[in-house]
Amino acid sequence: MGMYIAFAPLQGYTDAVYRRAHWECVGGVDEYYTPFVRMEKGEVRRKDLRDTNPGRNSGVPTVPQVIARDAEEFARLCDALQGQGWRRIDLNMGCPFPMQVRASRGSGLLQHPDKIEEIQREMLRRKEVAFSVKMRLGWENIEEGLRAMPIINEMPLVHVTLHPRLGRQQYKGVADMEAFARFQEACRHPMVYNGDIVQVENGKWKVGNGGDAVDDNKIKGVMIGRGLLARPWTTREQGAASGTARDKADIVREMHERVYRYAEGNLCGESQMLARLHAFWEYIDIPQKEKKAIMKAGTMRRYREAVAAVNV
């Protein structure tokens, strides 16, 4: 059995349409995580529940992710997802965005071990659900995450995914591999590595900040986000010779065709369609001149012309 590979969620990019396009055109992913489901104005956000609707995710190995400030929010989010039939849920304790952190969600939750302990007890009550956690080293300092680890060890988890940066760093600086090793020692659950994984070489995943190989003998697997958005064909290459340029072009065009058909059939007006389609290209690794032409296209006619000129 090969290394576990997860596709990380990015709000506005990896929706159900994109996840299905990648699964059907590329595959090689064990689990696709949804952008986090959250509370809004005292209710579970309906837009998020549309994305986790089982009908939209049928046949795609999907894990809904939630973000919560306390056990009460966590319970309501789990109730909503379990009501849809989900028995696998991931808790986000890593989001670095200030709006969520100020509300004690995401990596902000790591500053409140009492709240994490209440969530742990809520997890234990839901024996029918397989949980996992995605986290950072802490928000302000690494000690926050290490203090939370004894509580996380008591959670009924299939694994812990760790992005070895502090929340306040967002995506700046380098991933701290030494800190990741400290958390490995402290964690009783299988560990999944997340952060700056950018390429495949000789069947090994590499970390972008220094080209270090991720030691697949010590971890369960890897979670890749921006790297897969940039090079969606990567999982097809894992453990094998790299695909040809034609293979990569075909993959991008096949995925784009699926997202385009969705936008054409479900979104209203050119502006909505263009917003969704521009997101498809924002991270993809193509020449800057071609990407600029796509992103500047203000009409569907100009957009189609720009896409036709793309050479992956």
pLDDT in tens, 118-175: 999 999 999 999 999 999 999 999 999 999 999 999 999 999 999 999 999 998 988 8
Domain end among 188, 203, 237: 237
Measure the CA–CA gap between 221 and 175, rounded to whole angstroms: 16
pLDDT at 275 over 60: yes
Average the pLDDT over 2-16 and give the result: 93
Q: Are residues 90 and 175 in the same domain?
A: yes
Q: Are residues 230 and 267 in the same domain?
A: no
Q: Kindly report, residue by residue over 31-86, the tens digit of the pLDDT.
A: 999 999 999 999 999 999 999 999 999 999 999 999 999 999 999 999 999 999 99
Q: Are residues 152 and 117 in the same domain?
A: yes
The per-residue pLDDT for 17 is 97
Average the pLDDT over 9-25 and give the result: 96
Average the pLDDT over 257-284 and give the result: 95
Q: Are residues 286 and 229 in the same domain?
A: no
The per-residue pLDDT for 238 is 47
CATH number at residue 185: 3.20.20.70
Surface-to-core class of residue 32, CB atoms within 10 Å of its CB (0-12 exposed, 13-18 middle, 19+ buried): buried
% of the chain with per-residue pLDDT over 90: 83
Q: Are residues 124 and 81 in the same domain?
A: yes
Q: Are residues 200 and 301 in the same domain?
A: no
Q: Are residues 175 and 123 in the same domain?
A: yes
Q: Kindly report, residue by residue over 199-232, the tens digit of the pLDDT.
A: 666 666 777 666 666 666 789 999 999 999 999 9
Query: Domain residues for 29?
Result: 4-237
C-alpha distances (whole Å) from 230 to each of 49, 225, 285 are: 27, 9, 5
Q: Mean pLDDT score of the chain, rounded to an integer?
A: 91
Note whether 107 and 135 are within 8 A (CB).
Answer: yes
Residue 188 pLDDT class (50, 70, 90 cuts): very high
Q: What is the dihedral of CA 198, 202, 204, 210, to 10 degrees?
A: -50
Beta bridge partners of residue 166, listed in sequence order: 138
End-to-end Cα, the chain, rounded Å: 31
Domain end among 188, 211, 237: 237
Q: Are residues 224 and 94 in the same domain?
A: yes
Number of structural domains found in the chain: 2
Q: Are residues 293 and 203 in the same domain?
A: no
Q: Are residues 181 and 286 in the same domain?
A: no
Q: Are residues 50 and 137 in the same domain?
A: yes
Q: Are residues 88 and 45 in the same domain?
A: yes
Domain end among 185, 208, 237: 237
pLDDT at 241 over 50: no
